[in-house]
Amino acid sequence: MQVRDWLTIGALILGPIFAVCITLYIEQRRERQRARRWALLALVSNRHSVFADERLKALNSIDLLFQDAPEVRSKWKAYLGQLSNEEALKTDLGAREAQRLNLELISAMARSLGYKSLSQTDIDRGYFPKHFNIQAAEAKTLQDSFLEFLQGALKLLQANQPPQAALPQAPAADPKKDEIG
């Protein structure tokens, strides 16, 4: 056999193997991009609904999905730090800072996915009817009132309950009776 024949046999054997490897690599990249786009879409579409389940799943997936995007991970770390500061979130300034950091995170994610011309202003703009805010505030007020009622009822029940008499104690076992003698 000549060298040309060996090269032909090698190409016939290795060609399909290389083709499968390249196809698997492309499919893995495509799947990673799909998951990253899902996270971005979940954050953008729920940016005004901070407790939306899909948004929380996306936030908790950032370290995994963007492990090779240091800018995104840095923005996520800063945003998570602000979200973890409950005292700051209770103030208007802290809430605005959290919103700013959220927009920076979404913007960094968009840039890492190739959306270069999407500004933070574009991201922040969106339709969110005031009715939803009013409805959410009313639901929170109702929950707080109900909790206050239950706590008051519990205190009232505890205050009106007669003291419980001590239960009689069982006599202690006599160790001498247990001895076999």
Q: Give residue for tokens 């933070």.
A: 120
Structural domain boundaries of the chain? 3-125, 129-156
- Structure token digits, residue 1: 């056999």
3 state SS of 25: helix
Question: Contact at 8 Å (CB) between 52 and 102?
Answer: no
Integer Cα distance of 109 and 126 in angstroms: 18
Contacts of 150 (CB under 8 A, 6+ apart): none
At 63 the pLDDT is 94
At 66 the pLDDT is 96
Integer Cα distance of 47 and 79 in angstroms: 13
Torsion angle of the four alpha carbons 159, 161, 165, 167, in this order, in degrees rounded to the nearest 10: -110
DSSP string, 133-155: HHHHHHHHHHHHHHHHHHHHHHH
Integer Cα distance of 43 and 59 in angstroms: 8
At 177 the pLDDT is 59
- Averages of pLDDT over runs of 10 residues in the chain (181 residues) are 88 89 90 94 85 91 95 96 88 89 93 84 69 75 89 84 66 61 49
92: buried, middle or exposed (CB in 10 Å: 19+, 13-18, 0-12)?
exposed
- Structure token digits, residue 41: 């879409």
115: buried, middle or exposed (CB in 10 Å: 19+, 13-18, 0-12)?
middle
